[in-house]
Amino acid sequence: MPLPMHPIMAQSFAVIDREIGDHRFSSSEYAIVRRVIHSTADFEFKDLIQFSSSSITAAIAALQQRVPIVVDVSMVRQGIINLVQQTFQNPVIVAVEQATEAEPGRTRTETGLLKCLAQYPQAIYVIGNAPTALLALCHWMIDRPPSSPAFASPAIVVGAPVGFIAVEESKQALAESNLPQIRITGRKGGSPAAAAILNALLVLAWEDWEQQPSRSRLATDAALMQAQI
């Protein structure tokens, strides 16, 4: 069943389409860019969003497989939970809530994020607020090679922290990694932008899912249920 779209959102998308006009994005990339602009009313994001090769494909596959989604703060969860529940019902984990207190020299969000990496090494990671969390993720990947028992391999990382301190550094660290990623360069970002990226990916994943033969979907569901037993 197609996902419903509120008439005001459809009208807003039409306004965005007119103002942007011709663009360089693929249809999937543009769906993400447009949703971020809709959530922020800021057209500069079309010049700030960067996609790594095959990042959207990786995200779609992970969402369809009900991979857990780890977000840095509760505001990102608030922005995605309705669409998650309407689609694949992936578990959503808030990193900051996984730490009752910060470890020495770390923020609480960073501490919680590190716990999530250990528990959910192949999750989807969405960072919309805390650059320390994004830096921690990148440093974890550097310090733990594939041969390490603590190696993590996130399905995709959405890097969109906002602010002035360590924000650009964290995004540069992500850019220099080999992780599948969608990131917002510069100081801009924020929970609404991060949630918009994930919501756009959910819509793309659901549309792709709806186009698959029912037999294929049933086989995937059966495999997922078996894996959970």
Give the amino acid at 32: I
Angle, CA of 110, 116 and 118, to the nearest 5°: 110
Cβ neighbours for 171, distance < 8 A, ≥ 6 positions apart: 131, 134, 159, 161, 183, 184, 185, 186
Question: Which residues are the active-site residues?
Answer: 38
* 30 burial via Cβ count (<10 Å: 0-12, 13-18, 19+): middle
- Beta-carbon neighbour count of residue 19 at 10 Å? 10
- Distance, in Å, from the CA atom of 217 to the CA atom of 224, rounded to the nearest integer, reads 11
* Residue keyed to tokens 């977000």: 71
